[in-house]
A and B are shown apart, each in its own frame.
Chain A
Amino acid sequence: MNITINKHQNDEGILVLVGGEIDAFTAPKLREEILPLAEGENKSIIVNLKDVSYLDSTGLGVFVGLFKQLKQNDGELRLIELSDRLVRLFEITGLSNIMDISAHSEGGGR
């Protein structure tokens, strides 16, 4: 039960690869790692969630916080490669209507 967070900077923005379980124990670590990335104008952050095996409201809260901070500074957030479970969680909470989420990898196909 743990979390892995890997960050890469490329031309498009910052890519963050998250893996493991995001719950009340690991969410503070995730927040600490990714919120500072949103500082500054026009930041673009892509978070790949393909290796996330568990997510609940504590994790959703981190992404909502990140999303709000980016929006304030004209930045953008994309969550990609969500499993069916994760898509469902974003749908039932209504977040899929507000945030840019996708079950697919960058560029559409895989």
Chain B
Amino acid sequence: MSEVMDYIEMKIPAKPEYIGVIRLTLSGIASRMGYTYEEIEDMKIAVSEASTNAVQHAYRKDEGGEVIIGFGIYHDKLEIVVADSGRSFNFLQTKNELGPYTESSTVEQLAEGGLGLFLIETLMDEVRVLNHSGVTVFMVKNRSGERDNHDRIISTHEAN
């Protein structure tokens, strides 16, 4: 199992005007990692859907709050966590609490959201949902595209 290489976390006010900012950040991270255009666009939708749910969740409870978005960067995949709890969280601990990957711990727990959650499941390679005081959506996109190219560039550098 590959180790997380880098971790980036951002915290935004639970307001819809900041969802576009999350997309821009995701775009930057994913294109740096070498994802294809299609993969990046898929992830932009999935992350926006999860963030929209988080923002609406906070709105319904009428308590404002914050949404935390964590990006776990691996060599061959990107893990994204969207949590609508105002508290900062431990990425690895939250990830461990999410496992194992069973039928009962998937998207069904999020009744509201409808099409949004369907899109997250369709566009990402792995999705898990954790219900606690808030809701945490954990998703993974594997990097398929130009990996050969990328590896070749790296090995060229190593040869020098």
Contacts and interface: CB of A to CB of B under 8 A. Distances in A.
Interface of A: 1, 21, 23-25, 54, 56-58, 60-61, 85, 89, 92-93
Contacts, number: 47
B30 interface: no
Interface string B35-61: 000000100110011011001100000
Contact of B116 (A1, A57, A85, A89): A57
Contact of B19 (A24, A57, A60, A92): A24
A19 to B, nearest CB: 15
A60 B51 CA distance: 16
Interface residues of B, number: 22
B100 interface: no
Q: Is the interface of B mostly helix, strand, loop or mixed?
A: helix
Given A24-B19, A57-B114, 14 more contacts: A1-B20, A1-B24, A24-B52, A24-B55, A25-B16, A25-B19, A57-B49, A57-B52, A57-B116, A57-B119, A89-B119, A92-B122, A93-B118, A93-B119
B44 A58 contact: no
A24 B19 CA distance: 8
Nearest to A2: B20
30 contacts: A1-B21, A1-B24, A21-B20, A23-B16, A23-B19, A23-B20, A23-B52, A24-B16, A24-B48, A24-B51, A24-B52, A24-B55, A24-B56, A25-B16, A25-B17, A25-B19, A56-B45, A56-B48, A56-B52, A56-B116, A56-B119, A57-B49, A57-B52, A57-B114, A57-B115, A61-B115, A89-B45, A92-B119, A93-B118, A93-B119
B143 interface: no
A92 B51 CA distance: 21
B23 interface: yes
A28 to B, nearest CB: 8
A99 to B, nearest CB: 14
Given A85-B41, A92-B122, A23 B115 contact: no
